[in-house]
């Protein structure tokens, strides 16, 4: 399982592998999408869930791929929703891509479109909302060039 370390401004603790024997203080999450992504063919969609058995966030992204152009990886960003989205530079991002959250922390690029992250089991996290957005990398097997798109934003509230 991968780890996410957040700035203390967001949480007390860090996203890290949790001890399964002790159980999870966090019992679940609620999510609410905001904004719109951009990408190849159609915007990629991100779903975030919580596995209480392993105390982990589960991130799954759906993205279109075709022919010689396929989604190859993703980078998850954490922060807070921006009052006004910011245009991302093209290239490397596809035209019209917007940054929807302030980037407080990000993961290294993960292969594929799914990942899992341990959640700190701190009671101070209960009731907190953190916003997520992912950058998706498409790879062109003919030109050997990568392009990036982004998902919608997702508000995640822990309970």
* CATH code: domain of residue 103: 2.60.40.10
pLDDT of residue 20: 45
**Is residue 8 assigned to a domain?**
no
What number is the average pLDDT over the span 126-135?
A: 98
**Is residue 35 assigned to a domain?**
yes
Closest listed residue to residue 112, CA positions, set 72, 145, 149: 72
Q: Classify 123 in phi/psi space as left (phi over 0), alpha (psi -120 to 50) or beta.
A: alpha
Q: Does residue 136 have a pLDDT over 90? A: yes
Cβ-in-10-Å burial (0-12, 13-18, 19+) of 62 comes to middle
**Is residue 3 assigned to a domain?**
no
pTM: 0.86
The vertex-30 CA angle with 109 and 101, nearest 5°, equals 45
Closest listed residue to residue 101, CA positions, set 70, 65, 75: 75
Please identify which residue in the block is written with the tokens 């998850």: 76
**Is residue 14 assigned to a domain?**
no
**Is residue 13 assigned to a domain?**
no
**Is residue 51 assigned to a domain?**
yes
- What is the pLDDT of the chain when averaged over all its residues? 89
Half-sphere exposure of 93 (CA within 13 A, CB side): 18
**Is residue 71 assigned to a domain?**
yes
Look up the domain containing 119 and give its range. 20-158
Cβ-in-10-Å burial (0-12, 13-18, 19+) of 140 comes to middle
Q: Does residue 123 have a pLDDT over 50? A: yes
Q: How far apart are CA 46 and CA 60, in angstroms?
A: 6
When divided into structural domains, the chain yields a total of: 1
- The pLDDT confidence band at residue 22, using thresholds 50, 70 and 90, is low
**Is residue 7 assigned to a domain?**
no
53-86 pLDDT, tens digit per residue, is: 999 999 999 999 999 999 999 999 999 999 999 9
For residue 23, give both structure tokens.
Answer: 């159980």
Query: Is-contact 39 48, C-beta < 8 A?
Result: no
Half-sphere exposure of 37 (CA within 13 A, CB side): 27
């Amino acid at each position: 399982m991968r780890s996410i370390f957040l700035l203390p401004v967001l949480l007390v603790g860090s996203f890290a592998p949790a001890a399964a024997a002790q159980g999870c203080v966090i019992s679940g999450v609620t999510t609410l999408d905001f904004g719109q992504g951009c990408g190849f063919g159609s915007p990629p969609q991100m779903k975030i869930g919580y596995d209480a058995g392993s105390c982990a966030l589960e991130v799954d992204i759906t993205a279109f791929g075709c022919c010689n152009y396929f989604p190859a990886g993703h980078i998850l960003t954490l922060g807070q929703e921006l009052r006004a989205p910011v245009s991302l530079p093209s290239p490397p991002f596809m035209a019209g891509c917007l940054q929807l959250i302030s980037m407080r922390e990000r993961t290294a690029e993960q292969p594929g479109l799914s990942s899992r992250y341990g959640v700190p089991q701190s009671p101070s996290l209960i009731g907190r909302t953190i916003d997520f957005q992912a950058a998706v990398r498409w790879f062109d097997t003919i030109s050997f060039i990568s392009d990036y798109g982004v998902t919608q934003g997702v508000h995640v509230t822990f309970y």
